[in-house]
Structure 1
Amino acid sequence: MADALVSVVLGQLCSIIYEQANQEVKLVVGVEDEIENLRRNLEAIQAVLKDAEKRKMKEDGVRIWLDELKDVSYDMDDVLDKWVTAIFSIKLHKEEISGAVLENGSSGKKKVRFSVHLPRFQFSKLISQLGLRREIARTIGNLNVRLNNIRVRKETFNFSIASSSVDEPNRPNSTSMVDIPKVYGQDELKEVLVSRLLSGSSLDESDHLEIIPIVGMGGIGKTTLAKQVFNDDKVKAHFGDERIWVCVSHPFDEVKIANSIIEQVDGKVPSIFGLETLMQVFLGSIKDKKYLLVLDDVWTDDYLTWGPLEQ
């Protein structure tokens, strides 16, 4: 139980650290260092949790130590959720929904980027952003003191350290099937996306590739929103059978992605393996067709990684 809870909080911390660095948004000076300390303390504690879980039934001190760790972890989960809200609140002041930007791709095709930044809550309801940021900073500082005490006390139990780091959990593949009847609070964003897909572009359609990223923290409904758009009746009528859904996930595997695309286009598993050959088959299958390709659960925007597929 404690191990799973700590893993969740660590995942949140890593996601927030990445998002803050990537989006260049700040809360309060010094909080970044506090967050980094939280991460290091949690990782040090996580290394001994397997042994602690085994011993808690026979040792009251270990059981109490684990209970305190759980309490701190739950409190951390709450404050990190507030931080996610604050980060996107800051971003929304800078941009609502960015417009289309035309650029030339390396393959010679024109690309139209139309980004949708998906907020988590209605941030206009926050009365005082600055007050919230300071509250978060104070809470994180207090949590660090509590967690540091827990880390220091673990040394008194002489726990065995796990021989290897905790395995990264396998992420379930997403599908295009909609598993809930309605996405509350996202109707407006859905209509924006549907309208964009149906309107196309003033450019010659054979000469451009339109890209519409949906970006945001994990767990805020990006995949659900994409499913709603993908299964919209107007989108189905517009693209027909040329709608493809691929779960990219982690680690990135361009050959696996290409295979999945071709399997959905041709209705059968490809018998070839090279990426270049696979992409030639794909291009032949969609020649002179209008198609919608959804790449879900994307973890990297590194051009060197995506370059071969883009071309």
Structure 2
Amino acid sequence: MAAPVVISAAQVILNNFIPLASEQIKLEWGFKEDLETLRRRLILIQSLLSDAENQRITSASMREWLKNLKLVTCDAENVLDEFAYEALRRKLEVKNRMRNKVRNLFSLSNPLAFRLKMAHKVKDINSMLDLICKEANDIDLKPADQLLNAASTNVKPRDLNFRLTHPFVDDSQVVGRDGDVSTVIDMLIGSYDSGDDLSIIAIVGMGGMGKTTLGQLVYKNKKVVKYFGDQRIWICVSNDFVVKRSLNEMVQSLTRNQCEMENIEGIVRMLQEKLYGKEYLLVLDDVWNEIADKWECMRNSLLGIGGSKGSKIIATTRSMHVVSTMRTSPSLTHHFEPTIRK
């Protein structure tokens, strides 16, 4: 396999779960420092990949390094998915026990055993990543300054090659999503009324579970197209949530023209010309922002557009903290829930 192809595949893996590592650091697993080390190692390796791509090296040593990197990063991704699964499993188990009025929560799965097991796994992966970094030095790869600086801070970088999503999907290649699609469509155009001036539907699930695909299927569904017409807008938000940029992208989607206005009021006025009094659908895909002030600015801007009350926003996210920040009603939150093993 040619090096650029392998590099691209490895970048996709890193771009998808560096933010997941950052999210797990916030949880009280008992070894936050090791998780932070893991996040920094992943960002450092991403910067090494950037240098590898620039050099276009196709040597045997480069191919071997990329092969080892892919194996380690896949292991790291599996560990982070275990964290996400365990966090969701515990929430669901506690919720079920409270629903059944069972007070004794000491019978829950042993959290100490889980911490010990995962602590060892994280340390092992960090050791392997350290070896990968040393091997990179042997083949003369140097980290890009931009990502290396990000690795030494708590800032989430907007990846150089972050996962840009779009509303287009070949539904003939998607199976087993009909029930989820119907549920979300009912939230969009059903009789349910949240009573809010801005109705936000959240699609929540772990990475790789198909949140974006579900959003795409809903976006292109015939009922949805008929209901909202041309007033459908898709925006890939990703890590760096900037209100001005998101509003400019809304204008570009509606007008098919480039929009780089600096004044938010001016952007909202342009959106009013297209959407005032109309029902529109806005999809915000891959939302990570948990800063309330940023969302409040976006929310007020959307309210300022003056769209019809039937307008809807769909937000896909991995985090319930995002759902809370956006003030989404539980009735408008759709979960991808893994089956809890008995």
Both proteins in one fold, TM over 0.5: yes
Structure 1 regions of 5+ residues with no counterpart? 99-126
Equivalent residue number for residue 34 of structure 2 = 34
Question: Match of 1:296?
Answer: 285
Contact 1:79 1:136 in 2 (8 A): no
Distance 1:78 1:188, change over 3 A: farther
Is 1:143 the equivalent of 2:125? yes
Select the residue among 145, 159, 162 that pairs with 1:164.
Answer: 145
CA distance in 1, matches of 2:127, 2:239: 34
Structure 2 residue aligned with 1:19: 23
Q: 2:198 and 2:64 mapped to 1: Cα distance?
A: 54
User: In 1, Cα distance between the equivalents of 2:257 and 2:16?
Assistant: 38
**Matched residues, number:** 270
- The amino acid across from 1:78 in the alignment is D
Structure 2 residue aligned with 1:227:
216
Letter in 1 for 2:175: Y
What one-letter code is carried by the residue in structure 2 that aligns with 1:199?
G
- What is the aligned-residue identity percentage? 26
Q: Is the 8 A contact 2:169 2:216 kept in 1?
A: yes
Q: Distance in 2 between matches of 1:56 and 1:277?
A: 50
Equivalent positions of 1:101-180 (< 5 A) are 136-148=118-130, 159=140, 161-162=142-143, 164-166=145-147, 168-171=159-162, 173-180=164-171
TM superposition shift of 1:45: 6.5
Q: Could you tell me which residue of structure 2 aligns to residue 196 of structure 1?
A: 187
For the structure 1 residues 233 and 79, does the alpha-carbon distance in structure 2 shift closer, same or farther, using more than 3 Å as the test? Answer: same
Give the conservation status (yes or no) of the 8 Å contact 1:25–1:91: no
RMSD across aligned positions (CA): 4.4
For the residue of structure 1 that corresponds to 2:234, the secondary structure is strand
- Aligned partners of 1:174, 1:245: CA distance in 2, in Å? 9
Q: Which residue of 2 aligns with 1:104?
A: none
- 2:238–2:285 CA contact under 8 A, matched in 1: yes
Change in 2 beyond 3 A, CA 1:78/1:144: closer
Query: Which residue of 87, 109, 127 corresponds with 2:84?
Result: 87
Q: Which amino acid aligns with 2:166?
A: T
Pair 1:219–1:278, CA change in 2 (3 A)? same
- CA distance in structure 1 between the aligned counterparts of 2:141 and 2:233, rounded to whole angstroms: 48
TM-score, normalised by the number of residues in structure 1: 0.64
CA distance in 2, matches of 1:299, 1:134: 29
Give 3-state SS (helix, strand or coil) of 1:94's partner: helix
Query: 3-state DSSP class of the match of 1:295?
Result: strand
> Is 1:75 aligned to residue 72 of structure 2?
yes
Could you tell me whether the CA contact under 8 Å between 1:5 and 1:70 is conserved in 2?
no
Is the contact between residue 6 and residue 42 of structure 1 (CA under 8 Å) also seen in structure 2?
A: no
Residues 169 and 217, structure 2, Cα contact 8 Å, conserved in 1: yes
Q: Would the aligned equivalents of 1:69 and 1:147 in 2 still touch at CA under 8 Å?
A: no
TM-score, normalised with respect to structure 2? 0.60
